Structure 1
Amino acid sequence: METIIGQRIKNSRIHKGLSLQEVAEKIGVSKQMINKYEQGKSTPNSEKLIAFSKLFNQKIDYFFRKPEVTIGEINFRKKSKFSIKKVNSLKEEIRIQIENYLFIENICEVNNSFENPLQNNNIQSGHDVKNAVRSIRESWKLGQDAIQDCIELLEDNHIKVIEVDDESGAFDGLATIIDAKYPIIVINKNMPIERKRFTLLHELGHLLLPITDLELKEQEKLCNVFASEILLSEANIRNEFGEIRSRVSFEELKNIQKKYGISISAIVYKLGETKIMTQERVKKFYMSLNFNADLKKTVEESRFESYEHSNRFENLVYRAVSEELISMSKASSLLQISLDKLKQNLMLTIK
């Protein structure tokens, strides 16, 4: 039990970005004692546990709860703009959310089995990726229509989406598989909607495409192709714009952005990739963005109307507490809301 409490204290301290000394000053003990707590060599009394609970904004039961799964190192593929402290804090935020997600799924006995429909594909080029997208659309019964809700699509196919709050914009997303069976995509909730959708599907590419033997730069390139093709396929862009265009109006670009939920910059890039427009014209477009701040601001404006927010975890918690699978206290802890607020939300429960 001492080891569990100690690990919870350490994880919470890292999550909050606090040093041993900072925690010691707030709790009212020495730095050495905090270190002993974290190493499981000493156990805080009830008074100190209450102090830790308030400091870390966690319910008391959190410090006694054995982790449902063992979550290994969470790695970022790209060099982060964050400080080491911020990176570690973000990793702990992800770890907490993943652990809670798997806990509530197990409580609700949800079928979370996942099978990668692309695991046997040979992916070496953008052409291979486009074939893979056609396969995934067929496997997931998507047809050729625009995807209205990417998060819903992922969750319907047993991929967990976790949103974290990073207002700095230094973190976009990452994909990982826990215990070799739980695919997870972590996304920064504070992004323009089109960028958020592209990032979700880019990370999906990292989960589904068998490309780990390729250089990282090539992996990123192929995952960009994957995201672009799912959002706006080559067949759809040719249908919308025709085979060859000498110029394209801004109104057309805005309408396609609204319809498919892909940024104008990504649409223009795809117009060049499919040779609907010449690379020279595409380059001129990007040069204009670099030298015209007003144009850049207009181009980057979000126009796609979609919620793109995961509420599956919240729904599972309310399901569990309504079915009396977990206590009210446990539910409030998982949802990070007060008991009064939880009771208020449950007042209209249908019996």
Structure 2
Amino acid sequence: MDKKIFNGKRLKNARLFRGLTLTELAENTGISKQSLSLYENEKNTPEHERVRALATSLNFPYDFFFQMDAWETVTDVTYFRSLASATKMDRTAQSIKLEYVAKIYEVLMNYIDFPALNLPEVSFDGSDDEFDNKKIEETQKQIESIALKLREFWGIGDAPIKNLQFLLEKNGVIITGFDTLEDKIDAFSQRTIVGNGDIYFIAVALGQRPEGRIRFDMAHELGHILLHPWSENLELITKEEFKAREKQANMFASAFLLPKSSFSKDVQAYPTDLKYYQFLKKKWKVSIQAMAYRSNQLGIISDNQFQYMMRQISKNGWRTKEPDDVPYSLNENIFQGALDLLIEEKVLNPASIMRTLKQYGITLYRTDIEKLLHLREGTLFIEESKPQIIQLKRPYDEDGGNK
């Protein structure tokens, strides 16, 4: 029988998962910061009661701290939207959570034939120099070409995209949602290496964000997936380089969601009329501000016209809330479909799903798993079966009875 050994790396993992510093965890548990550091670095082992206190404070199962990972999830880099306003702890917590999503995906791959990643090969060498107009123009041309190539590759023509989440999942890009702080992280994307293949995950912030903004966030992250390198530490690039990549991802999102040929025809009728943009919003499912930006990008309206329109948008209070905005609700994603299929086909049930995940070192409470995978509440709820201690009397034989 394997001996239980405390895993300090898992303590650190759980702490970061909850977005806590050593100081905060010390205050929550009454265990000194120095002791916690020794535990995390496996230079000391906590007593049983302290492990219980840590498990309770962090809301992790006790057994979690005594497991080894079945495999290491290899993650190169995570692209965060709104990176400037998010702290390093905010980003680390969300990155770790997405790694757990990747681990669960790898387990489910043993049972489910998920759509394969289906992206075209593209070449992009856009300039990071925001002051070189010639290079910026060339970058824009490259991005327009890549967005058009992707639409052709996926066979979706130049019409508005009705269900972007389904389109991405159909082509092997995994979508999930997290409850994140509204003003810090809009969305983020991450690559995980499984065997010889890559899996890309996009996580969008849930809450009160409108449909147009969430769709743009998804397309923005898709831009990072296609355009930018996934083998470098983003902490080491300059702010100017990161700003340039964000701008390029925005360019891609605009070009992909609002294709040049069809959107230009639509908007040219009344290119400076905000009421008309409000009408187009229902068709293209993109914000008025994004459409105005795209019109300026395509040269349909001048810089002065665009600036005037943005002033009007601000005056109307539309910067934060536009007309016809409705909170976006992420559709049931590919994880919900996978688990429903396993349960309906009686391959696994909620109890065996949780046991299987535990065998692979994924020992989390079901509520955390449901949030990580953006599942319906109660999907993994396990009903306790009561032991049967009474039985019905067997019926008498025809020639039996009380004799």
Q: TM-score range by the shorter chain?
A: 0.7 to 0.9
Q: Secondary structure at the match of 1:80?
A: helix
Q: 1:305, 1:27 → 2: CA distance?
A: 38
Contact 1:257-1:303 at 8 Å conserved across structures:
no
Contact 1:271-1:277 at 8 Å conserved across structures:
yes
What's the counterpart of residue 194 of structure 1? 212
What's the counterpart of residue 181 of structure 1? 198
Bigger mean CA offset, 84-93 vs 124-133: 84-93
Q: 2:9, 2:20 → 1: CA distance?
A: 15
| 1:200 shift after superposition | 0.9
1:280 to 300, 304, 313: 304
Distance of aligned partners of 1:304 and 1:148 in 2 relative to their CA distance in 1, 3 Å threshold:
farther
| 1:283 shift after superposition | 1.6
Distance of aligned partners of 1:245 and 1:107 in 2 relative to their CA distance in 1, 3 Å threshold:
same
Contact 1:114-1:159 at 8 Å conserved across structures:
yes
2:72 to 69, 74, 92: 69
2:161 to 147, 155, 158: 147
What's the counterpart of residue 241 of structure 1? 267
TM-score (norm. length: structure 1): 0.80
Q: 1:19, 1:220 → 2: CA distance?
A: 29
Q: 1:239, 1:24 → 2: CA distance?
A: 61
Q: Secondary structure at the match of 2:381?
A: helix
Distance of aligned partners of 1:184 and 1:52 in 2 relative to their CA distance in 1, 3 Å threshold:
same
Q: CA offsets, 1:285-318, max 9 Å, x none? A: 112234x2535456x3454796434522233334
Q: 2:223, 2:79 → 1: CA distance?
A: 15
Aligned AA for 1:93? K
Q: Secondary structure at the match of 1:175?
A: strand
Q: Which has the higher contact order (CA 8 A, sep 6+)?
A: 2
| 1:65 shift after superposition | 5.1
Tell me the number of residue pairs that the alignment of Structure 1 and Structure 2 aligns.
339
What's the counterpart of residue 221 of structure 1? 247
Contact 2:220-2:252 at 8 Å conserved across structures:
yes
What's the counterpart of residue 360 of structure 2? none
Q: 2:122, 2:63 → 1: CA distance?
A: 40
Q: 1:141, 1:256 → 2: CA distance?
A: 23
Identical counterparts, % of pairs:
21
Q: What does 1:114-153 align with in structure 2 at a 5 Å threshold?
A: 114-120=117-123, 124-153=138-167
Q: 1:177, 1:3 → 2: CA distance?
A: 31
Contact 2:219-2:252 at 8 Å conserved across structures:
yes
**Cα RMSD between the aligned structures?**
3.6
Does 2:362 align with 1:335?
no
Structure number, greater radius of gyration: 2
Q: CA offsets, 1:9-61, max 9 Å, x none? A: 11111222334455356556554443333223445566554443332223344
What's the counterpart of residue 349 of structure 1? none
TM-score (norm. length: structure 2): 0.71
Contact 2:214-2:328 at 8 Å conserved across structures:
no
What's the counterpart of residue 316 of structure 1? 338
Contact 1:173-1:200 at 8 Å conserved across structures:
yes
| 1:277 shift after superposition | 3.0
| 1:198 shift after superposition | 0.6
Q: 1:232, 1:29 → 2: CA distance?
A: 55
Q: CA offsets, 1:99-142, max 9 Å, x none? A: 333333x3324346425303346765222222222221121121
| 1:273 shift after superposition | 2.6
